[in-house]
Amino acid sequence: MPDVPDTELQLTPPVNASDKRYASMGSFMPLLAPGAGKSEVFISPPVGLITNDWRGWFASPWREAGADKPERGWANYISDKLAERDPTQARYLRGRSPLSVAVARKSSVSDEEWLMSPFFERSWWSDYHGAWARHGSEPTSKGWSAHQGGRNQLYLDMHADWVRKDIDASATQ
């Protein structure tokens, strides 16, 4: 997988006491699609590009050599494995092969997700909604996803699936 230094990560606010965060894909776009012109492949279609409310935490512009280049494209897909900042953790994916991560986690590449559509779980709300507040808005206490009660995710073997998460299926924003 692409290796991006910690200083280049475009991270969400934390979602738990161990400071777990998600990385938006802006800094990874030059490595995953270097020859692409303006790229919209990294925008989840049901979400679209949102930058003017709390969901702007998921959006990140193409970032190369420390410079944001929004004219090259934006991303809002996220990854917790690419956001891991401790290289001793089994889940640390940057610069490692998908198989090595799966083996370290005593799993398989077909069971390990690495990229997902934006979401916010309701169990995060009580402790973290303030950190996620942005432009006068914050996540709803019901959680949020564009995929009614769950999220789409891409696994290390490149298959995709919908997964239920702690999000009220009626939650919209």
128 in a structural domain: yes
11 in a structural domain: yes
171 in a structural domain: no
Q: Which of 49, 57, 65, 45 is nearest to 139 (CA)?
A: 57
For position 173, what pLDDT does the model report? 56
For position 154, what pLDDT does the model report? 96
For position 127, what pLDDT does the model report? 97
Q: How many domains does the chain have?
A: 1
Q: Which CA distances in Å does 52 have to 41, 58, 136, 142?
A: 21, 11, 9, 20
Cβ burial 30-69 (10 Å sphere, 16+ → b, else e): beebeeeeebeebbbeebebbbeebbbbbbbbbbbeeeee
Q: Give the torsion through C-alpha atoms of 120, 121, 122, 123, to 10 deg.
A: -130
**What is the span of the domain harbouring residue 46?**
6-164
For position 172, what pLDDT does the model report? 64
Q: Could you say which residues of the chain have pLDDT below 70?
A: 172-173
39 in a structural domain: yes
Number of C-beta neighbours around residue 7 at 10 A: 7
94 in a structural domain: yes
Q: Which of 111, 135, 109, 113 is nearest to 57 (CA)?
A: 135
For position 23, what pLDDT does the model report? 97
169 in a structural domain: no
